[in-house]
Structure 1
């Protein structure tokens, strides 16, 4: 185990400790030692009787390893590419005596287990069984590697489309970061902010690229709004972009829309539907939802009402009479396109 040495007494050329490097990269010290043992991704020189220290060249090599594994490249192949930067040869595999856990359950290799091994630094994220792209995105976010986060967001949306990307990659990553933030106090707030900002910027780019050149739409727009007191807009932004891709007009009002402003917008615009987002039960307001659903608009003698969709976990799981309750992005799209 590496014990921190006083870095202030050492010249910059001495390098950084394993613990410091692990914190910088958002991985555990155990992971760095495993990479060193398995693939030779360790310090090139080691002073006798001193703790291992990583030079800038060593750090660059491991940063490249993190970038490649975050992109979904198997660790063995990523290590070869990372070492190619320094010209180091890969070490010969060390034979390990086979062993079996209790009840003859075969253990998974360390390099294909959870991407954030449990560590005393608290860097693990509760991701569970998700796509490798989700794990890679979370790795990059924990490292605060903005370039890698943006590159991966662009790549997955191009590869899978917005709906699959949101439901199977972005949403699980955001939920994992949110759970980690709640359990770790003020830590990981910066990770959530970085990830949320880049996801929002990417989704808005999709929305702008999909919007038609003309201002005239073929149907009444869909109003998207967070209920009063609700600040979480990313799910609505994803729905807004997905509707734009399908040629459906929208009016995005964003976070914490006051009740009076929401009613005024319904009366002025005459939307085909209103989507109300609530992230938590503390912001969900059924009286407001019923009020919006009963708001009439249109010319005298032909006044009508809008369909109201209750979106988000804050509304609970039960159906509400007279109100639509989508279960996710794909379900909301089916409902709105059906209207």
Structure 2
């Protein structure tokens, strides 16, 4: 005779729910105690189980607090939405905010004192909340402009996930991949949205072997936003292809990106600097910019300019393309 086994308990434990939301279990318990956001049904004993409707309320609260809404107001709005009363959306707080407080917990991305948009981006990334990532990034680009969205929203979150990935290993690789993909998608949409301007175009490319391309994507998006013509060749352009692209397109400016010192090939840059085109007696050479931390050091490659940051690169490109 077979003895029937007890059915597995339904719903999520508090620990599993906290991992899903990207907050600490202490935060979940604190929200339950302070704001009455807890499981609608509780089994006998001390172990709480969170059903899908309970989880949806907390996910909505996370989205609201990620946008800068006060936790108490966010809790009221999330509970009202679950009840179908749909109150007016609480006002978000403006300005920078420190997210390294108790609410962050071990499952968060500690990003320091940042804009509310960055805090929301970090929390959505840990939750693997793709729709919220897309919403925050799209709104940041639209409302703040590409430069501010990149430097104050995207970069701090990307750096935080990089630090977390380095410490935690494969546990956070999925967070980094999802966040990077959505950042690239948001920047690509911004770059593709503008009408392609006429005139000689700058050539943008990553050095051979350089696989990091998000900063190049950000540069292209800013150039599109400002109506500056460019051709984007992306990361890891082989040396022969780079030289051929310069000869074939005759760019007034070439910007070469290196994230890592090992990809900063000075000899190849010297060959690009010497590349010329046009009729005999009136041949033209490009102005070459080397950008990215791979070029750090006291001496830049001869015959080149080295912008310090995204804004500096755009200013240089503007001067060189419109002169």
CA distance in 2, matches of 1:312, 1:144: 29
Identify if the C-alpha distance between structure 1 residues 337 and 189 changes in structure 2 by more than 3 Å, giving closer, same or farther: same
Instruction: Could you tell me which runs of 5 or more consecutive residues in structure 1 were left unpaired when the two chains were aligned.
Output: 1-7, 89-110
Asked if residue 188 in structure 1 is aligned to residue 169 in structure 2, the reply is no
Instruction: Could you tell me which runs of 5 or more consecutive residues in structure 2 were left unpaired when the two chains were aligned.
Output: 85-96
Aligned partners of 1:225 and 1:277 also within 8 Å: yes
Aligned residues: 304
Aligned partners of 1:28 and 1:118 also within 8 Å: yes
Aligned partners of 2:99 and 2:112 also within 8 Å: no
Query: How far 1:322 sits from its partner (Å)?
Result: 2.3
Query: How far 1:49 sits from its partner (Å)?
Result: 2.4
Q: Deviation per CA, 1:155-193, whole angstroms, max 9, x where unpaired?
A: 111111111111111111111111211221112111111
Asked if residue 176 in structure 1 is aligned to residue 156 in structure 2, the reply is no
Query: How far 1:87 sits from its partner (Å)?
Result: 4.2
Secondary structure of the residue aligned to 1:185 is: helix
Query: How far 1:115 sits from its partner (Å)?
Result: 6.6
Aligned partners of 1:222 and 1:250 also within 8 Å: yes
TM-score (norm 1): 0.84
CA distance in 2, matches of 1:52, 1:130: 34
Secondary structure of the residue aligned to 1:53 is: coil
2:45 aligns with 49
Query: Following superposition of structure 1 onto structure 2, how do residues 7-22 of structure 1 map, counting pairs within 5 Å?
Result: 9-11=6-8, 14-22=10-18
2:68 aligns with 72
What's the C-alpha RMSD, in Å, of the aligned pairs? 2.2
Secondary structure of the residue aligned to 1:248 is: coil
Aligned partners of 1:153 and 1:199 also within 8 Å: yes
Moved more, 21-30 or 133-142: 21-30
CA distance in 2, matches of 1:334, 1:185: 38
1:335 aligns with 316
Query: How far 1:280 sits from its partner (Å)?
Result: 1.2
CA distance in 2, matches of 1:190, 1:302: 53
1:93 aligns with none
